[in-house]
Amino acid sequence: MNKLILSTAALALSAGFAVAQDVVRMGTEGAYPPYNFINDNGEVDGFERELGDELCTRAELTCEWVTNDWDSIIPNLTSGNYDTIIAGMSITEERDEVIDFTEAYFPPDPSVYVAMAEDVDVAGGVVAAQTGTIQASHVASTGATLVEFATPDETVAAVRNGEVDAVLADKAFLEPIANEDADLMIIGDDVMLGSGIGIGLRESDAELKATFDTAIQSMKADGSLNTLIEKWFEGMTGPY
Amino acid sequence: MSCWESFQAYALRSLGLGERLLPKADITVCEQVVLIGSGLIWNVYFAAIALLLGFFFATALAMAKNAQNPWLRKPAEWFIFVFRGSPLFIQFFLAYEAFVLLPKAGIEFSLLGIEFGASTRWLTRAWLGATIVLFLNTSAYAAEIFYGALRSIPKGDLEAADAYGLTGLHRFRRIVWPTMLRLAWPAYTNEAIFLFHATTLVFFSGFPAWKQMGDALYYANYFADKTFNPFVPYPIVAGFFVLMTLVIISLFGMINKRLNRHLPKQKRRKIALRLNLIR
Amino acid sequence: MFAHCADPSTLEGFAWLACYLTNGKHMLFYGSFGTVLLLLAITAPVSLAFGFAGAVASRSHIPPVAWIGKLYTSIVRGVPDIVFFLFFVIALDQGIEWLRHQAICPDWTEPVRQGNDFVVCPEAKMPLSTAPQSIHEIYNFTLAVFTFAIVFGAFAANVLYGAMNAVPRPQLETAHAYGMNDRQTFWRILVPQMWVYALPGLGNLWMILIKATPLLFLLGVQDIVYWARELGGSKTAIYAYPHPDWRLYYFLFLLVFYLAFTRVSEVVLERITRKLSHGQATAAGEAMRREA
């Protein structure tokens, strides 16, 4: 009897919600300007917000934005709490083993060191990075002492208060900070890590990956991606 | 890498010994168990130091709260209220921010000599800064427990002490303190367990990990991040903590036995394993 | 909020601050205090129910039921709550979706686990991916309440178990002598009397529950700590209200909030204790009888 009720209820459910697969939940961190951040109205904003909305329009998808802690952003994707990661995530081999990436929508972003003085020894000193980033792995493999913080904000704060000598992070993130603060400066050459930034997807979602790839290609072809990059990243020329 | 090899490489990694780079690819369960176990050294260190020092400070605080003199009583009451009334998570954060500001805060720090200037820098390190926060926190909780025990020392015991002419420190050391400990011990055991659990918050809020030397939860977090699978490392941490909780219970049980050794067998209070205190 | 807030870069001093503190993000911050209070209000009775069930199970005369009760309380209490929070919610979420998947789409042939991916049919998603964001937030909130209730239910079970044993045996024996059966004795004598013994422990537990709420952000709920961090972090010119690192002030505000909340709870608990002690066969009850 119980079983019968259950299965009829299930039938009613599946009949009632003929689920349209065209709602895509976009996962982002919301703490990494100008890529993505929560603006003063409490909404997701930034380069990736605008890019994502444009991609969804082109692919005729309805998109919904969700924020998630950086630490658990991949497990929550694989367990299906959202369908994409669009959070300034560099395409690396390690990540590629677990999730899939679309083609890059942003060139390999150079990382830079920011410090309070020109003569800081970034290869032997104390360097801060955000936990779980490619920069953290990079610092761990150099001779420097790695200090890890949970958020990008704290890494910069640690340089300001002298706790660490330098911070390694994406250039696009550090550049405006260094420009606005007279005490901070970019030192040394750009460090190239990763192979560009792409949208992360579940490996089982080949169809969605193809859809986004097509949309990205079309944005590259008509130059709108370049325009968008130039709008959000001051002094950068569109690479595509 | 065989299990034994990963043990050699990572058993003391949390102290900075052994292999410098953490495992990156093809992570085995063995490596996870060894590294997380290695991180447990820090949890034990934080808990042991904070409890040991906190025990004495808590006794003093409890006496102060029990005192007639408001100049002693009021500060003790406020101290206990602030540390018991706010989440440890926020205490860690605020303490870290305060420690970071310290060297800049005053000239007197640099005037007092190099040793002192250097020592304020260490406050931002987990081994000192977090231990201080945990020490203050456990002192407040234990003080409240001890205070409750002080209030419930049987009147007859104190009258007997007076009748024998015991006064001052002597009366405290021989009568008040042992009785207080005996009454407070079951609750204090719970406090010890919860302090041990609370050590997992150190690297989770506020204090950064240096050279990838962290506690058990830090490494579990690292593995969850690298393997993208939270279902292996976190249960390993949980298992370690269940084991350590049993160790604490048996250690404190032994002390409880000693505290009650003068009582006839049937009157001995069995230590009630009621864990009803966390922060 | 106010009309003159349209262009914050022209404002200064107090006007800037007034606009800053009333922008959309701050409204979400203030709202999150409501979220935390709501969570406490729902979690407390739910964990009490869990605790009651756990205590009754531990007292059971049927060995397997007693084992389950004891295992629940001792395992959950042996693990730091933070570790539990980190993986339990994902496990719970996947468990629910798997059950729905089994019930709703029995014809689905693809495996649920594909490598690292956890894939159920779209109809079994919980909530459905077409549902608006607010439903997702309510669902996350419900999961958080459930997780908190499991952890704190284990502690409550322990307190209630102790309280049931603390009720003087002669009370129960008298009930039996009057011809009450086990069930009647339990509900009419044991349960009404145990509360006074349980109250100190439960009060303690309530304080602990309050202080565990900063971990809510681990469970995917945007709570006061999440917003304090988000708002306090230093803001470059890309934001409408740029400012340096103000997290210290936000966290000090949270500290004040928690201290005030603790104080209020203490006062209320004291009143309840007095009320419950009235007419009880305990020292406190006796003292009140003499006073009257």
Q: Is the pLDDT of residue B134 over 90?
A: yes
On whether the CB atoms of residues A215 and A204 are closer than 8 A, the answer is no
Residue C24 lies in a domain: yes
Residue C1 lies in a domain: no
**Per-residue model confidence as pLDDT tens digits over B196-212:** 999 999 888 768 887 78
Contact C114 A40 (CB under 8 A): no
Range with the largest mean pLDDT of A20-34, C133-147, C226-240: C133-147
Residue C267 lies in a domain: yes
The secondary structure of A180-225 as a DSSP string is H-TT-EEEEEEEE-SS-B--EE-TT-HHHHHHHHHHHHHHHHTTHH
> C-chain residues within 8 Å CB-CB of A6?
103
- Asked if A163 has any chain C CB less than 8 Å from its own CB, the reply is no
Residue C254 lies in a domain: yes
Question: How close, in Å, is residue B211 to chain A by CA atoms?
Answer: 5
Secondary structure letter of residue C61 according to DSSP: S
CB atoms within 10 A of CB A237: 8
User: B156 CB contacts (<8 Å, ≥6 apart)?
Assistant: none
Higher pLDDT, A182 or B215: B215
Strands A185-192 and A110-115: antiparallel
Residue C213 lies in a domain: yes
**What integer pLDDT is reported at residue B34 of this predicted model?**
92
| Closest of C176, C196, C209, C212 to residue C82, by C-alpha | C212
> A-chain residues within 8 Å CB-CB of B129?
none
Question: How close, in Å, is residue B235 to chain A by CA atoms?
Answer: 16
> B-chain residues within 8 Å CB-CB of A163?
100, 124, 208
Region label for C145, one of left (φ > 0), alpha (ψ between -120 and 50) or beta (otherwise):
alpha
> A-chain residues within 8 Å CB-CB of B211?
145-147
Contact B221 A74 (CB under 8 A): no
Within this chain, domains A22-107+196-232 and A110-192 share the same CATH topology: yes
Distances (CA, A) of B157 to A170, B169, B262: 69, 16, 14
Q: CB burial class (10 A; 0-12, 13-18, 19+) of residue C52?
A: middle
- Structure confidence at residue A7 as a pLDDT band (50, 70, 90): very low
Question: How close, in Å, is residue A72 to chain C by CA atoms?
Answer: 9
> B-chain residues within 8 Å CB-CB of C252?
94
Q: Count chain A–chain C contacts defined by CB atoms under 8 A.
A: 111
| Closest of B95, B97, B60, B98 to residue B80, by C-alpha | B60
**What integer pLDDT is reported at residue C265 of this predicted model?**
93
Q: Is the pLDDT of residue B273 over 50?
A: no
| Closest of C100, B229, C123, C110 to residue A76, by C-alpha | B229
Cα gap B245→B40, rounded to integer Å: 12
Residue of C92, C94, C236, C241 for testing the chain A interface, max A β-carbons within 10 Å = C236
Contact A75 B21 (CB under 8 A): no
Amino acid at C229: R
Higher pLDDT, C111 or C42: C42
On whether the CB atoms of residues B38 and B215 are closer than 8 A, the answer is no
Q: Is the pLDDT of residue C26 over 60?
A: yes
C47, two tokens? 């964990």
Residue of C9, C16, C140, C238 for testing the chain A interface, max A β-carbons within 10 Å = C238
- Please state the length of chain A: 240
Please report, for chain A, the start and end positions of each structural domain, with discontinuous segments joined by +.
Answer: 22-107+196-232, 110-192
> A-chain residues within 8 Å CB-CB of B208?
128, 147-149, 154, 158, 163
> C-chain residues within 8 Å CB-CB of B229?
116
| Closest of B221, C278, C122 to residue A205, by C-alpha | C122
Domain B26-267: CATH class, spelled out: mainly alpha
Q: Count chain A–chain B contacts defined by CB atoms under 8 A.
A: 51
Is A110-192 a domain of CATH 3.40.50.620? no
Please report, for chain B, the start and end positions of each structural domain, with discontinuous segments joined by +.
Answer: 26-267
> B-chain residues within 8 Å CB-CB of A140?
21-22, 212
Residue C222 lies in a domain: yes
- Structure confidence at residue B235 as a pLDDT band (50, 70, 90): very high
Average pLDDT of the segment spanning C50-55: 93
**Per-residue model confidence as pLDDT tens digits over C243-283:** 888 888 999 999 999 999 999 999 998 898 888 777 666 66
Cα gap C36→C215, rounded to integer Å: 11
Region label for B235, one of left (φ > 0), alpha (ψ between -120 and 50) or beta (otherwise):
alpha
Contact C118 A80 (CB under 8 A): yes
**What integer pLDDT is reported at residue B120 of this predicted model?**
63
Residue C8 lies in a domain: no
Average pLDDT of the segment spanning A164-188: 86
Question: How close, in Å, is residue B81 to chain C by CA atoms?
Answer: 8
Contact B229 A71 (CB under 8 A): no
Contact A202 C117 (CB under 8 A): yes
pLDDT over 70 percentage in chain C: 93
Contact B209 A78 (CB under 8 A): no
Average pLDDT of the segment spanning C73-80: 86
Residue C110 lies in a domain: yes
Region label for B16, one of left (φ > 0), alpha (ψ between -120 and 50) or beta (otherwise):
left
Residue B7 CA, distance from chain mean position: 27
Higher pLDDT, C118 or A135: A135
Cα gap A186→A110, rounded to integer Å: 12
Q: CB burial class (10 A; 0-12, 13-18, 19+) of residue A143?
A: exposed
Residue ranges making up the domain that contains C234: 13-291
> A-chain residues within 8 Å CB-CB of B230?
72, 75
Average pLDDT of the segment spanning B72-84: 94
On whether the CB atoms of residues B14 and B127 are closer than 8 A, the answer is no
pTM as predicted: 0.82
The C-side interface with A (CB below 8 A) comprises 23-25, 27-28, 90, 93-94, 97, 103-105, 114-120, 122-123, 125, 128-130, 132-133, 136, 217-218, 220, 222, 229-230, 233-234, 236-241, 245, 247
Secondary structure letter of residue A72 according to DSSP: G
B7, two tokens? 């043990």
Cα gap B221→A75, rounded to integer Å: 12
On whether the CB atoms of residues C5 and C11 are closer than 8 A, the answer is yes
Write the CATH number for C148: 1.10.3720.10
| Closest of B251, B246, B234, B229 to residue B200, by C-alpha | B234
Nearest chain B Cα to A134, which residue? B226
> B-chain residues within 8 Å CB-CB of A74?
225, 228
Nearest to A140 among B25, B103, B212 (CB): B212
B211, two tokens? 């050279």
Q: What number is the ipTM of this complex?
A: 0.83
Fold of A22-107+196-232: D-Maltodextrin-Binding Protein; domain 2 (3.40.190)
The A-side interface with B (CB below 8 A) comprises 71-72, 74-75, 78, 94, 98-99, 128, 131-132, 137, 140-141, 145-150, 154, 158, 161-163
Residue of B44, B86, B145 for testing the chain C interface, max C β-carbons within 10 Å = B86
**Per-residue model confidence as pLDDT tens digits over A104-150:** 998 887 889 999 888 888 888 889 998 878 888 888 888 888 888 87
How large is the greatest C-alpha to C-alpha distance in chain A, in angstroms?
78
Q: Is the pLDDT of residue A8 over 80?
A: no
- Asked if B230 has any chain A CB less than 8 Å from its own CB, the reply is yes
Higher pLDDT, C285 or C118: C118
**What integer pLDDT is reported at residue B121 of this predicted model?**
67
Residue of A76, A85, A93, A94 for testing the chain B interface, max B β-carbons within 10 Å = A94
**Per-residue model confidence as pLDDT tens digits over C132-186:** 778 888 888 898 899 999 999 998 998 898 888 888 888 889 999 999 998 899 9
Cα gap B86→B77, rounded to integer Å: 14
